Every structure is written in C-alpha cells, then in structure tokens.
Amino acid sequence: MRSMKQSGRISPVALGSLFCVLCVVVLMLFSRESAASAGARFMEALQHHDVDTLTQMTKMDGASEADIHKQWDFAVNNAEKYYAFGYKVEGASQSGKDNASVKISMIRDIDHPGSYEEQTELPMVKVNGDWKVDVRATSRDFFNCLPR
C-alpha cells in the first residue's frame, strides 16, 4: 500500500525526460536554416529544375516574384534544359548578421569527359529571417543563364 507522502509526486527521471522533450521542441521552433543548408537546397533545386524553390530562394531587388519565376523557368527549362552538373557544399562563411557566402565544389558539364572540379561561391543574403541567393551578385560562370 502506498503512503500518503508518495501520492502526487513525479519521479526525477520523468521530470528530466519531460524537460529534454520541451528543450528539443523549443530548439526546433526557434532554429532557422543555416546558410550552408540553404545553399545546398538552392543547388538541389537548380539541379532538379525546381522553379518554385529557385524563385522562393532568389533575391533580386526590384523584380517581382512572377518575373523571377518566369526567368528561372526559361533558364532551367529552355536555355539550360540539358545542362548537367555535380556539386558538393564545402561550407559557409558569414561576413555579417545578414550576409554569407556558401563555398561550393562544382563540376560543370559533368556528362563530358573533360569536366573537372572547380570552386565557386554563392552569395547569400538573409531576408526576413530566411537565407536567399543574391543572383545578381553571382558570377555568370556559375550558371550561364542566371536571372537578371
């Protein structure tokens, strides 16, 4: 039979477990995507011709979302429809609270025998808490038909 002193008490293990679960939930709610993971997501969208994600992740001052979408659609589904490349995100360096550069190792025209690995960078800008690629600051050597 339980004594009256033990009823209504919670074990320290259960209390610790509950605290850990709450910490994980809070971290998930308040953590944002890093510049490196945003850069990787952008590169994957470029590789798979995902116009919606490319549009969402592009920063172009003065251009409407519809215009950016139209330019990306033309770039990946017409002008560079058969362009194949491989990439690996090497990391990111943050130069300020809202500016970063994602280092990428890229093989252009990966389906050609003379292809070789090159180093490039994606300039990233934080807009409303989300990392976006500043395509106007990106070299055309990166991708021939970047939106302008």
130 domain-assigned: yes
Rounded to the nearest angstrom, the gap between the alpha carbon of residue 140 and the centroid of all alpha carbons in its chain is 20
In this structure, is residue 111 part of a structural domain? yes
The pLDDT tens digits of the residues spanning 55-83 come to 999 999 999 999 999 999 999 999 988 98
Please indicate, yes or no, if residue 144 is contained in any of the structural domains.
Answer: no
Q: Are 35 and 53 in contact (CB under 8 A)?
A: no
In a domain, 103, yes or no: yes
CB-based contacts of 49, cutoff 8 Å, min separation 6: 76, 77, 81
Q: Give the domain range for residue 54.
A: 34-137
CATH number, domain at 129? 3.10.450.50
- Of residues 16 and 114, which shows the higher confidence score? 114
| Tokens matching residue 87 | 């990439």
The encoded tokens of residue 60 equal 């172009």
**Contact call for residues 144 and 79 (beta carbons, < 8 A):** yes
Instruction: Quote the number of domains for the chain.
Output: 1
Asked if residue 16 belongs to a domain, the reply is: no
pLDDT at 29: 47
Residue 17: is its pLDDT beyond 80? Answer: no
Assigned domain for 97 exists: yes
